[in-house]
Structure 1
Amino acid sequence: MNVTSLMRKAATGGVLATTGLLTLTTLPAVADTERTRPDCADVKCVALTFDDGPGEHTDELLDVLHENDAKATFYVLGSKLASHPEEVERMVEEEHQVGNHTWDHADLATLSASEIKDDLQRTDMAIKDVTGRMPTTMRPPYGSLSDTARETIDKPMLLWDVDTLDWQHRDPETTVDIAAEETDEGSVLLFHDIHETTVEAIPDVLETLTEDGYEFVTVDEMMGSEVEAGTAYSDARSLD
């Protein structure tokens, strides 16, 4: 944990107790005033999403987002929460969104209905144990879905329309270029905060897209209440 996080932890007085999975006994402090949320009907909104964390680089990413007043959505793996609870607490404290990305990145298209239900419920409860909140959306690993998965999943399924391929090329400049070239109003951008090179790219991603007039909001803020359980969405334009 970096110095910024330690200072924040001391200020909020958050305390964790271990009972199997780490559970939150003191919820993160709530800000005195809520931020003014952009109205995506009036401004160009995009959703930055980060998969497969939390990890060792997540805290640094949160620093960058905080410095730029940018909000994001984190699709976390339930199996990683016990090792990085402070980062997930901080996500909620700083008004980011936390979503379900399964327990350990299983391909849901290969699982039975009962296996899918058990996996997602286990992950939901792990997230709630740390954040005090149930996730409202989920993201299937690899974007892989079967008919069984679509019929079983009881949340809106958020895919993406801008795949930065950051996990593949591991090059910050390429990540920035793809984001700049492929982003449109209502886009959902896919990144992975487990890679240091991705975190290195985010300041330039934010600067470039800000210059193009985009506002960075959570999935829920951009998609609103129109999304339905059991339906997959790749961007906000699909709601029109």
Structure 2
Amino acid sequence: MRVWALPLALLALVACVTQSAAHRRAARAPAIVPMRAAHVDPERLAKRLAAIQPGWPRTRSYDCGRIKCVALTFDDGPGEHTGRLLDMLRRRGVLATFFVLGQMVAADHGPHLARRIVREGHEIGNHSWSHPALTGLSDDGVRRELRRTGELVRRLTGVRMRLMRPPYGATDAHVAREARREGLAQILWNLDTLDWRDRVSEIVARRAGRAKAGSIVLMHDIHPTTVRAVPHLLDTLTRRGFTFVTVSELYERPPVPGREYTERR
């Protein structure tokens, strides 16, 4: 080898070794890099939820004609205390029915909470958009209140609601007619805890504890006093031998659109 060619040969050897080392590094498992939180597309999430729970609500099988069932229902949310309530119910394995307001679903953490209600197996129902007395509205006004909320919940969760609760329990023939057109049964109650008036947890728990077999219990998840009452009322009703069910489970079949329900007799 000529003297002037020696440096060139050494450079070629170094390049070969460097390329081989780089190739070996590339063949190794890639390093784990922290990922940024991905943007959640509500439309895609709704489709995924609908795909994993066809025919929602998927009810459990209870014979509430033979066992002591009670349906706990919560109105006017989702709000700032709903997440804590969901935590409590999940720890106890209890499912309830939430009658949501469209304007609350649209606000702040509402979309997340509505999706969580559905994801954790609770039943979700329509409580209108802005909580007016539906009996004071025209047919078109009732339709707008129900449809706007229904469309928002369906877009966020993939769920088409089958239940509604008229604000203040105010209903009549034209409200029933519009509910029927929207495919919604009217769910009222036979046990009012009056938690909106008496915001004392002990009083709310004591009233809820008076439930009888087949009762639909009215509460509001927007009040912290109600949420704090839940563990006590669950303990009381459990000791009395009750099984906690959703409204649809209480009747063991989807309630009939337009018809009023207050309890299972």
TM-score by length of 2: 0.77
Contact 1:46 1:188 in 2 (8 A): yes
Which deviates the most, 97-106 or 150-159?
Answer: 150-159
Structure 1 equivalent of residue 262 of structure 2: 234
- Give the Cα separation in 1 of the matches to 2:187 and 2:103: 20
Equivalent residue in structure 2 for 1:117, among 122, 133, 143: 143
How many residue pairs match? The answer is 217
Distance change >3 Å, CA 203–CA 180, structure 1 → 2: same
Per-residue CA deviations over 1:147-197 (Å, capped at 9, x if unaligned) read 22122222210000000000101000000111112x110100000000000
Distance change >3 Å, CA 108–CA 35, structure 1 → 2: closer
The Cα shift of 1:15 comes to: 5.4
Equivalent residue in structure 2 for 1:38, among 46, 62, 75: 62
Structure 2 equivalent of residue 179 of structure 1: 208
Secondary structure, in 3 states, of the residue corresponding to 1:167?
Answer: coil
Contact 1:92 1:98 in 2 (8 A): yes
The Cα shift of 1:226 comes to: 6.2
Distance change >3 Å, CA 188–CA 94, structure 1 → 2: same
Distance change >3 Å, CA 131–CA 143, structure 1 → 2: same
Per-residue CA deviations over 1:52-83 (Å, capped at 9, x if unaligned) read 00000000000000011110000000111122
- Give the Cα separation in 2 of the matches to 1:96 and 1:69: 11
Structure 2 equivalent of residue 139 of structure 1: 165
Ranges in structure 1 where 5+ consecutive residues have no aligned partner: 1-12, 18-22
- Give the Cα separation in 2 of the matches to 1:210 and 1:14: 41
Over the aligned positions, Cα root-mean-square deviation in angstroms equals 2.1
> Whose radius of gyration is greater, 1 or 2?
2
Q: Read off the aligned partner of 2:262 and give its amino acid letter.
A: S
The Cα shift of 1:36 comes to: 5.5
Equivalent residue in structure 1 for 2:93, among 61, 69, 72: 69
Question: 1:44-193 alignment to 2 at 5 Å?
Answer: 44-82=68-106, 83=108, 84-154=110-180, 155-181=184-210, 183-193=211-221
Secondary structure, in 3 states, of the residue corresponding to 1:62?
Answer: helix
Which deviates the most, 103-112 or 79-88?
Answer: 79-88
Structure 1 equivalent of residue 251 of structure 2: 223
The Cα shift of 1:145 comes to: 1.0
Ranges in structure 2 where 5+ consecutive residues have no aligned partner: 1-36
TM-score by length of 1: 0.84
Structure 2 equivalent of residue 199 of structure 1: 227
Contact 1:137 1:156 in 2 (8 A): yes
Per-residue CA deviations over 1:93-118 (Å, capped at 9, x if unaligned) read 11100000000101101001111112
- Give the Cα separation in 1 of the matches to 2:105 and 2:61: 28
Identity value in percent: 41
- Give the Cα separation in 2 of the matches to 1:169 and 1:212: 24
Which deviates the most, 203-212 or 216-225?
Answer: 216-225
Secondary structure, in 3 states, of the residue corresponding to 1:178?
Answer: helix
